[in-house]
Amino acid sequence: MRTGERRIFTVSAINEYLKMRMDTDEALMHVWLRGEISNFVSHRSGHFYFTLKDETGRLSAVMFRSYAAALTFLPENGMKVIVGGRISVFVRDGQYQLYADSMEPDGIGALTVAYEQLNAKLEGEGLFREERKRPLPAVPTRVGVITSPTGAAVRDIIDVTGRRFPLCEVILYPSLVQGEEAAPNLIAGLRYFNEKKNVDVIILGRGGGSLEDLWAFNSEALVRAVAASGIPVISAVGHETDFTLCDFAADRRAPTPSAAAELAVPDAWELRGALRSTGRRLAFAENQKLTRLRETLARLGKSRVLTSPQNFLDDRRLALDALSDKLYSRITMVEERKKAALAGVSAKLSALDPLAVLSRGYGAVFDADGRVIRSVGQVEKGMALLLSLSDGSVRATVDDVTPKEKS
């Protein structure tokens, strides 16, 4: 190449060159960056795309699905994080970016962030509402326990149950309580007891530990299984100061496995005392009732109806006579009133009786067809008429018709 001759590259070639230089630069092979997440996108492929920024700069970043799936929390816009990865160039766009392979919240643990996120999600769904929780059985005959068969928790539960209520049977479902397989094991235990329906209440728990040790009891799948259980569940995870999401979803939360056993079964001595006290109260109430009945019986025995039944009957006969007289008087009064009314109506009817009119010297005139003759205009000479009188009738023939002169 001659001096001064220009060397021309393609865009892709320069991008490839820069990518090669960055990929071989040890300072860029793995870096840790502190910043705030913005423009976060969870792609349907499972990859995370976001921008990492601080007060004066921005850097595009991508976290592929294989790394994103390992996170215990979900990144969000505005979250301050520390991200590890390599810096390289995306040849197609000529853009350098961070290829992240790890991420943790800045200033707070990843598990704590995951706990708070899932807590807010499930609480928003109403999974922790008090009104959906069921009461524990008063006197269970079988208690199901889901925990490690070798831990102190199961021994504490068995000891407390045997001491408080020896009649109750403890059925253990052995399970892992720590590690990746713990949550599926615990869910299988809940499913077993719910399918068999062989216990009255379930204790789910383990001894204390760090947040990492207890993390299985914050599994979303396990929390939902606890909330969906058809048998009441007591959550007894860790010590008194430890809280897991299972505690919020369970029907009751116990600070320790021993306390869970105390919640699950009654104290036999207290139960005996309560039964004796109830028996005494029942006996006292029964005696009171018998006393009242005896007093009532004695009072009735001294009543006149029992001591002098003939006098009682005589009084009733006199009362019956008085009522009979009163009834007869009332009937007579009504009868007289009805007779007077009937006489008035009869007089009115008699006044309107046509026969009564005829008896006073009047008569009624009819033509041959029985029609009443009311006017001389209806009569002609030679016409046959029927005259009805009070004591009979007369047939006549008209000889003459003389109309009344108008005045």
pLDDT beyond 90 at 91: no
What per-residue confidence (pLDDT) applies to 107?
66
Q: Mean pLDDT score of the chain, rounded to an integer?
A: 87
> Of 65-74, 195-204, 296-305, 335-344, which gets the smallest average pLDDT?
296-305
Whether the CB-CB separation of 216 and 179 falls below 8 Å is answered with yes
Instruction: Output the six-digit token pair for 148.
Output: 């490690």
Task: Write out 302-332 in H/E/C secondary structure.
Answer: CCHHHHCHHHHHHHHHHHHHHHHHHHHHHHH
**Nearest of 399, 400, 387, 335 to residue 361 by alpha carbon:** 387
Q: Can you identify the CATH homologous superfamily of domain 11-107?
A: Nucleic acid-binding proteins (2.40.50.140)
Check whether 70 has a pLDDT greater than 90: no
**Residue spans of beta strands (DSSP E) within 106-223:** 142-147, 169-174, 201-206
Confidence band for 65, pLDDT divided at 50, 70 and 90: very high
Backbone angles phi, psi at 298, to 5 degrees: -65, -40
Q: How far apart are CA 203 and CA 151, in angstroms?
A: 14
Taking residues 344-368, report their average pLDDT: 74
- Give, in order, the Cα–Cα distances in Å from 2 to each of 7, 13, 44, 100, 297: 10, 22, 53, 44, 139
At 154-191, the pLDDT tens digits run: 999 999 999 999 999 999 999 999 988 999 999 999 99
Give yes or no for residue 242 having a pLDDT over 80. no
Answer whether 48's CB lies under 8 Å from 56's CB.
no
- Give the residue-averaged pLDDT of 74-101: 89
Q: What is the pLDDT of residues 193-227, one digit of tens each?
A: 999 999 999 999 898 877 778 889 999 999 999 99
- Residue 393 — pLDDT band, cuts 50, 70, 90? confident
How far is Cα 233 from Cα 365, in angstroms, rounded to an integer? Answer: 112
List 257's β-bridge partners, or say none.
none
pLDDT reading at 309 higher than 80: no
* Residue (of 234, 203, 233, 237) closest to 218 by Cα position: 237
Torsion sign across C-alpha atoms 402, 404, 406, 407? positive
Tallying the residues shown for the chain, one arrives at 407
Per CATH, the homologous superfamily of domain 127-266 is Response regulator (3.40.50.2300)
